[in-house]
Amino acid sequence: MRLAELQTPCALIERSVLERNVATMARRMAELGVSLRPHVKTHKCAEIARRQGGFQGDAGGITVSTLAEARFFAGHGFRDITWALPLDPERLAAVAELQRGLEGLHLLLDDPAVLAAVEAFGSAHGVRFSVFLEVDCGYHRSGVDPGLGEAFELARRLAESPVVEFRGLLTHAGHAYRCQGAAELEAVAEEERSVTAGFAAELRAQGVPVPVVSVGSTPTMSRVRDLSGVDEVRPGNYVFYDLHQEAIGSCRRRDIALSVLATVVGCYPQSGRLVLNAGALALSKDRGAEHVEGFRGYGALLTADGSRVLDHLRLTGLSQEHGHVQSFPPERAAELPVGSRVRILPNHSCLTAALHEDYVVVDGDEVIETWRPVRGW
Amino acid sequence: MRLAELQTPCALIERSVLERNVATMARRMAELGVSLRPHVKTHKCAEIARRQGGFQGDAGGITVSTLAEARFFAGHGFRDITWALPLDPERLAAVAELQRGLEGLHLLLDDPAVLAAVEAFGSAHGVRFSVFLEVDCGYHRSGVDPGLGEAFELARRLAESPVVEFRGLLTHAGHAYRCQGAAELEAVAEEERSVTAGFAAELRAQGVPVPVVSVGSTPTMSRVRDLSGVDEVRPGNYVFYDLHQEAIGSCRRRDIALSVLATVVGCYPQSGRLVLNAGALALSKDRGAEHVEGFRGYGALLTADGSRVLDHLRLTGLSQEHGHVQSFPPERAAELPVGSRVRILPNHSCLTAALHEDYVVVDGDEVIETWRPVRGW
C-alpha cells in the first residue's frame, strides 16, 4: 500500500526516524551507564515498547502513566513496570491483583497519609508493594522537597515499613519543557541528577538504603552529559519528538517521527486561507513551546511526502475537525487546491498520538503496517 | 451503583441537566418555527441523539462531522444525515455506498472544482448526491461569500447539475464563539439568519430554487429571537454546554451537563498546590473563552457531588495525566487531602467528551447507565 492510498486524517510514524531515535537514546544511556526504562505513555503501543527494550538486549522495564497501560503492557509480556503517577490509594486492590503476574509493579508516593493507606491495605491483605519516594527536583508539580526533614523522615519510614519494598527515589524534571537551548537543558539535567542523587547519598549516609535513583525526561536525557549516581532514566517522548522538543533544543526537525496526514478541503486564495480535514481531534490543542520567540500555531506543514517544509503556511487555528491555515502571501494558497494533501508535524506528539485509534507506520512512500495503542485509565 | 464507587477519571453526564437542555432547545426552535437537526459531534452517541430527535416527535435528521459518525448513526437507525464538513472528493465512493441505505446523506461544498469532481463521479457511477452550498456568514472559515457573483454562479450550477440534488444553503456562525453577552450573540444570530436567508431570497428571485436554509450554532441558537426565512438549525454543544458557552452568555453555570470526576493524588498545602489524576487526556487543552476578561485555566472545580463551586481553586495547568491546581489562599489546599474527589467542568465539552471511551450517566448520587460514543474518521 502507498501513502496516497491512506484515508485522512491519520497518524503516520516514519519507521526509520522512530528507529533512529530509539537507537540513539539507547546508545547514549548505555554510554552514560544507566538503565533505560522508557515512559511508554507517549505511544502506548507494544510494538514501540519492544523496540525500545530490544536495544538493551532484554524485554526491559517500562514506565506507564495509567493502570490501563500497565494492564495492556503486562498482557503483552512486559513484566517490570513503574506506574509514574502519584498513587491513588483507591487503586491498591487493582494494583495488588495486577502485580501478582509481574516481576515488579512499582508505585510512587510523596505523602505520609498515602503510605499509611498502603500499609493498612498491605497488612489487611497480606500484600507487599514496591514503592518509590517521589522527589521534587525543581518542577514543583509533585514530590517531596528533599531539603525538608519530613522528606528524610518519609524515606526512612518507607525503608522500614514491613509491607513496603522501598524501591528508591524518582523524579521528573518537567521544568525542562520551559527551557530554551542546549545550555539550559543541560543545567536542568544536572539539577535533576544532583538533587536526586544528592538526596540518595544523604539517605545512605544516614543508614537508609536507596536501591534505585530514577530520573529523566526527554529534554534532559537528550542533552545530559553526566548521570553519576543515577541508576535508571525514563524519557518517553523521544521516540517521536515534536515541535516543542525542537523549539527547546531536544532534537532537530528531522528527528520528528510522528505526523498527521491531512487533506485540503477548502481553498480560498483571495483571502489566503486553506481548510484541512484535521482539527483539534486529530492534533490536540496543545500550543507547544509558547515561551520560545517565534513559536506559534498548532503544527508545522510539510508536503505530503514529508520532504519539504511549507514555510509560507501557518496552522493558525483548530476547530473540532477543521484545521485553519493562513498563507503568506495569500495567493500561494492556490498551490494547494481541494484534494491536495499535507503532512502536519505536531506541537506535542504524546497528545496527538493519543487521539488516534491506530498509527500507520510508513517508510517513505510505503505503508508498512498499523499499530494500535491502548487508551483510557 | 453510587457516584463514590466510580473509578476516576471519568466523564459524567447529569441526566436531568442534559434532558432539560435538550427539551429547552427543542421547545425554542419549535416556537421559532424551524426544524432542529442537531449536530451530534458534541457527544457522538446514539442515546443522546435519540433524545434530541424524540422531542420533535420523529427519529429526526442529524448533523455529523465525520463519515465515521455518519456510519455509526446510520447503524443506529438514523436515516437522514448531513455531513457538515467541506467534502473531500476522495470520499465520494464511501459516501455513495453509505447513502444507499439512507433517506438522505447531504454533503457540503463551496468550490466549483469540487462540484466538477462530484459530477464526474456521479456520471461515471450513475449516482446522485444531495449537496448544500456552504455560505460564509462572517466566520471566514469556509463557505462562499454571498456578495460575490461566483457564489451565485455556483448555486445556479448546483441547481442545474444533472447529478446533484441541490439541497440549499448552509452556514455556521463560528464567530459567535468570540462574542461576549446576549446582545452580541443576538447580533451574530441575526447576521447568520439575514445573510443566509437573504442570499436564498436573491437566488429564488433569479429562478434558482433553494429548498432548505440551514443555520445555527449553540451560541446563536441559545439567544436567537427571529428565524424568518430559515428552515432548519444545527446546534450541537447545547446538550452539554461548557465554561466557554457560559462565559460568552449562551448558558448558565447550572446548565453544564458534562463534567469529569477526578481524584486528588497530590496535596501540598505549604505551596497551595494540588495534583489531580485528570490531565490533558481527560480534559483537553482547550483554553476556552480567553477573550473574556477573567476567564482562565483549564476547567472549574466543584465538590464531587457537583453541589458547590470551589472558587478558591484554579486549574492552572495540565500535564498528560496530571491536573495542576493552585489554592488561594494556599493553606486551603489541605481541605482536599489525597483521595478526595472533585468534579471538573470543562472549557470545551465537545473536546473533553471525545477523550472518553464511555460517558457515565448520573442522577445526583446514582449511576444510571453508561453510553459509548463513536470516534475516528
Q: For residue A313, what is the domain's CATH number?
A: 2.40.37.20
Residue B183 within any structural domain of the chain:
yes
Confidence of residue B46 (pLDDT cuts 50, 70, 90): very high
Q: Do A277 and B85 touch (CB under 8 A)?
A: yes
Q: Which residues of chain A have pLDDT under 50?
A: 55-57
Q: Kindly report, residue by residue over B150-187, the tens digit of the pLDDT.
A: 999 999 999 999 999 999 999 999 999 999 999 999 99
What does the pLDDT average to over B179-200? 97
Describe chain B by its helix, strand, coil percentages, rounded to 5. 35, 25, 35
Provide the pLDDT for residue A59. 58
Whether A232 and A85 map to the same domain: the answer is: yes
What pLDDT score was predicted for residue A221?
Answer: 97
Taking residues B320-326, what's their average pLDDT? 98
Residues of chain B positioned with their CB less than 8 A from the CB of A266: 86, 110-111, 141-142
Same domain, A305 and A358: yes
The minimum CA-CA distance between A142 and chain B, rounded to whole Å, is 6
The pLDDT confidence band at residue B57, using thresholds 50, 70 and 90, is: very low
Residue B72 sits at the vertex; the CA angle it makes with B68 and B76, to the nearest 5 degrees, is 165
Pick the closest to residue A20 from A222, A223, A238, A221 (CA basis): A238
The strands making up B232-233's β-sheet, listed across from edge to edge, are: B35-36, B232-233, B212-215, B164-171, B129-135, B104-109, B80-86, B62-64
Residues with Cβ within 8 Å of A51's Cβ and at least 6 positions away in sequence, in order, are A18, A19, A22
The share of chain A scoring above pLDDT 90, in percent, equals 98
Nearest-angstrom CA–CA distance, B278 and A285: 16
> A158-173, pLDDT tens digit by residue?
999 999 999 999 999 9
DSSP string spanning A290-357? TTSTT--SSEEEEETTS-SB-TTEEEEEE-SS-EEEEESSGGGGGGS-TT-EEEEEES-HHHHHTT-S
Contact yes or no for B277 and A85 at CB 8 A: yes
Residue A114 has its nearest CB partner, among B282, B320, B338, at: B338
B285 contacts A287? CB cut-off 8 A:
yes
User: What is the overall mean pLDDT for chain B?
Assistant: 96
Distant-in-sequence, close-in-space partners of A205: CB < 8 Å, separation ≥ 6: none
Contacts of B9 in chain A (CB under 8 A): 377
Question: CB B41 to CB A320 under 8 A?
Answer: yes
The C-alpha atoms of residue B296 and residue A293 are separated, in whole angstroms, by 22
Tell me whether residues A111 and B267 touch, CB distance under 8 A: yes
Retrieve residue B52's grid coordinates.
434530541
Range of the domain at A114: 32-239
Could A111 and B338 be called an inter-chain contact, meaning their C-beta atoms sit closer than 8 Å? yes
Say if residue B206 is in the same domain as residue B273. no
Is residue B167 one of the residues assigned to a domain?
A: yes
Instruction: Name which of A196, A91, A113 is nearest B269 in CA terms.
Output: A113
- Give the model confidence (pLDDT) of B64-95 as tens digits: 999 999 999 999 999 999 999 999 999 999 99
Residue B215 reports pLDDT greater than 70: yes
CA contacts within 13 A on the Cβ side of A13: 31
Longest pairwise C-alpha distance within chain A: 73
* The one-letter amino acid at A169: L
Res. B53 pLDDT band, cuts 50 70 90? confident
Provide the whole-model pTM: 0.97
- Segment B214-237 shows an average pLDDT of 97
- What is the arithmetic mean of pLDDT over B349-373? 97
Q: Which of A239, A261, A290 is the last residue of a domain?
A: A239
In a domain, A15, yes or no: no
Give the pLDDT of residue A330: 98
Which residues of A fall within a CB distance of 8 Å from B320? Answer: 41, 65, 350-351, 354
Q: How far is B307 from chain A (nearest CA, A)?
A: 23
Least confident of A119-123, B59-63, B289-293: B59-63
Q: What is the mean pLDDT of residues B289-304?
A: 96
Domain boundary among A205, A239, A273: A239
Chain B residues with CB under 8 Å of A9 CB are: 377
- Answer yes or no: do A294 and A343 share one domain: yes
Residues from chain A contacting residue B43 (CB–CB below 8 Å): none
* Nine-digit cell string for B305: 457531588
Residues B112 and B228 in one domain: yes
Instruction: Name the maximum alpha-carbon separation found in chain B.
Output: 73
Q: Which of A82, A154, A316, A321 to mutate to test the interface with B (most CBs of B within 10 A)?
A: A321
Distance CA B322, CA B264 (A): 10
The last residue of one of the domains, among B207, B240, B273, is B240
- Residue B55 pLDDT class (50, 70, 90 cuts): very low
Residues A121 and A173 in one domain: yes
Based on the fold, state whether residues A258 and A232 are members of the same structural domain. Answer: no
Structure-block grid coordinates of residue B124: 461515471
Which residues on chain A are in Cβ contact (under 8 Å) with B113? 337-339
B chain contacts of residue A322, beta-carbon cutoff 8 Å: 85, 141-142
> Residue B349 contacts by C-beta under 8 Å, 6 or more apart in sequence?
B42, B237, B240, B241, B242, B256, B257, B258
CATH of the domain at A36: 3.20.20.10
Can you read off the three cell numbers belonging to residue B237? 454543544
Contact residues, chain A, for B141 at CB < 8 Å: 266, 273, 275, 319, 322, 324
In angstroms, what separates the C-alpha of B148 from chain A's closest C-alpha? 12
Same domain, B114 and B229: yes
Determine, for residues B320 and A350 on separate chains, whether the beta-carbon distance falls below 8 Å.
yes
In a domain, A26, yes or no: no
Residue A169 lies inside a defined structural domain of this protein: yes
Q: Please answer yes or no on whether A85 and B321 come within 8 Å at the CB atom.
A: yes
B245 inside domain: no
Residues from chain B that touch A110, judged by Cβ atoms under 8 A, are: 266
Chain A residue with CA closest to B174: the answer is A319
**B215/B352 same-domain check:** no
Number of domains in chain B: 2
Q: Looking at the domain assignment, is residue A348 inside a domain? A: yes
Extract the runs of DSSP E, i.e. beta strands, from B221-318.
232-233, 258-268, 273-276, 299-303, 313-318
Q: Give the residue on A whose Cα is nearest the Cα of B339.
A: A88
Structure-block grid coordinates of residue A268: 480560498
Chain-chain contact of B85 with A117 (C-beta, under 8 angstroms): no
Calculate the CA dihedral of residues B33, B13, B368, B1 and round it to 10 degrees: -170
- Assembly ipTM: 0.97
Question: Which of B86, B322, B376 comes nearest A275 by C-beta?
Answer: B86
Nearest to B111 among A41, A267, A357 (CB): A267
> What is the reported pLDDT for B54?
66
B99 falls within a domain: yes
